[in-house]
A and B are shown apart, each in its own frame.
Chain A
Amino acid sequence: MAIIETSKLTKHYGRIKAVDGLNLKIEEGEVFGLLGPNGAGKTTTIKILATLLDPTSGTATVNGFDVEKYPSKVRESIGIVFQEPSTDELLSGYENLKMHSMIYGIPKSEVDKRIEEALSLVELTERKNDLVKTYSGGMRRRLEIGRGLLHRPKVLFLDEPTLGLDPRGRETMWGYVQRLVKELNMTILLTTHYMEEADALADRVCIIDHGKSVAIDTPENLKESMGGDLVTIVSDSPKIGEVKKLKFVKKIEKLDGKYLITVDSAAENLQELLKKIGKVDCVEVRSPTLADVFMKNTGRGLEEAEGGWFDKIVQQSVNKQ
């Protein structure tokens, strides 16, 4: 049985459909990534699953419990790391964890052991007695993660765990998440708009755009669905006709004066491709990324989808809820 299941899950904010008929099935022990630009409906989905928002229509179950009918049962099964830090600034790291363990009714004999473990997992043992307001953004993030797993939930929601972190901080965080999965065997639902992150961490990824799921599969399968490697060529007079005849060439697109050629195994076939195409100014060869998958399924780039004023307004109105 799936540990998280949604059926036609929908959430409207006025006329805006933040989540639009989302169907998900997440298995126990899986790290599942929701990948999409800001305003795609990722946070709204998590808020519904965590019983912080009611859906407009559709259903969702977590650990077998319907989120609207049995919210307290759902809350007993989950942990959540919010996008905006929610630890108490005026308490120390240790005190935050202590309060959390009292609220979740962790047995007294276990409390100190678990707090020590959580602090050492997120490497905050040395700063545990400092007030959280003296922590850096990355440290607060880590404390949140430590807190989220203190009560060992069956399902852990990580909402944009690396938002606002520098590249190094991001990689450290990936390390924590990977250790979590290994050591605690939790089911993790993670949202992100960084495709590298979904690629690095998730067993399966759901690409989501305007509240709709556009593709769900393992990162490998999604990338393979692109049909091969991508060769980008800049050339004044390429012999496209010749290239089209090649067996290993899957697709040719012209984009901004560049030719985007999809081929089977560029490593084996690049030489022949270049021989046929004639004089070129510039060649770039790469394997497809999840960003390409996003592009293929939505017709726009992940970065491009990011900055639109419309998405920003949607994002703001979602955050206000």
Chain B
Amino acid sequence: MNPRNKVTPGTNRPDTLKGIYAVWWREITVFFRETPRIISSVMSPIIWLLVFGAGLGGSLSVQGLDYQQFIFGGILVQTFLFSSLFYGAYLVWDRKIDVLKAVLVSPLSRSSIFLGKVFGGVTISLMEAIIVLLFGYLIGMNYSAGVFVLALVLVALASAGLTALGLAVGSFMESPEGFQLLSSLVLFPLFFLSGALFPINNLKGPLGILAAIDPVTYIVDILRNVLTGIHYFDPMLDLAALAVFIVGANIIGVWAFSRMKS
């Protein structure tokens, strides 16, 4: 037998859907094996709600709502805001340990790899949102099953934009040390200006303008609206802002991802 006849090397055409699934599958599998990441992403919002919400809540109420319940929507957003952005920026770590390189030299297109990653981020956000929403019942929130599902749909949409933004940041970052910078320059401003923790109609002047251009403001507003009925903007405006953000972040993300060499 001539072993040379056994196989013929050739070219490989990837199946796009299968490729996206493979990237998504890797993200989720790895996520579940990194226990500290799961614990911190679920524990931190619960601690916020309990300590911050209950602590301040004793002395405050907003528009007839107990403060803890007022910030509930904001804390839900905080959960997936942090996890989506960090998840995306985690790309820089993938690059550092060279895992990404093996995918980048494959024939799978950059936008497919990008989509697989975004789906991964959305899935993780959804899992965390389910835990936070279930926890909500324990602190006296009451929303119907329909509202629960609607909230999850909004979480998925918002997370698709935030993960894309994180991936864009991650593909520009040179080293994981930039994580600190990401927190102080991107995450905290986005979060604190969004009105997650206070009524936004009290913001005047430049702060008010900054809040108005912060995409997270609209995510908080619509989720709080859905969960408690309190809102500062028309829901259609929220949805329009969200749509612009998702499309914009994904366009920037795909572009940033394509220019990245390794």
Binding site for B on A (CB under 8 A): 47, 50-54, 63, 72-73, 75-78, 80, 82, 84-91, 95, 99-100, 102-106, 131, 147, 151-154, 182-186, 321
Contacts and interface: CB of A to CB of B under 8 A. Distances in A.
Contacts of B26: 88, 91, 99
B108 A103 contact: yes
B11 interface: yes
Interface in B215-257: none
Interface string B1-19: 0011011111111110011
B22 A102 contact: yes
20 contacts: A52-B262, A76-B11, A86-B101, A90-B29, A90-B30, A90-B33, A102-B18, A102-B25, A103-B14, A103-B19, A103-B22, A105-B14, A105-B19, A153-B9, A153-B12, A183-B3, A183-B6, A184-B6, A186-B9, A321-B262
A89 B30 CA distance: 9
Nearest to A91: B29
Given A52-B261, A78-B105, A89-B97, A154 B11 contact: yes
A50 B261 CA distance: 11
A76 B107 CA distance: 5
A85 B102 CA distance: 10
The 6 closest A-B pairs by CB, nearest first: A102-B22, A105-B15, A86-B98, A105-B14, A75-B107, A76-B11
Contacts of A182: 3-4
Of B11, B23, B30, B101, chain A has the most CB atoms within 10 Å of the CB of: B11
Interface residues of B, number: 37
Nearest to A50: B105
Nearest to A88: B99
Contacts of A86: 97-99, 101-102
A91 B98 CA distance: 14
Interface of B: 3-4, 6-15, 18-19, 21-23, 25-26, 29-30, 33-34, 97-99, 101-109, 261-262
Contacts of B25: 99, 102
Nearest to A131: B33
Specify the main secondary structure of chain A where it touches its partner.
Answer: loop
B102 A100 contact: yes
B106 A75 contact: yes
Contact of B7 (A73, A82, A152): A152
Contacts of A102: 18-19, 21-22, 25
B106 A82 contact: no
A153 B106 CA distance: 11
B87 to A, nearest CB: 15
Contact of B18 (A53, A77, A105, A147): A105
Given A154-B9, A186-B9, A85 B21 contact: no
A152 B7 CA distance: 8
B140 to A, nearest CB: 39
A73 B11 CA distance: 8
B105 A51 contact: yes
Contacts of B3: 182-183
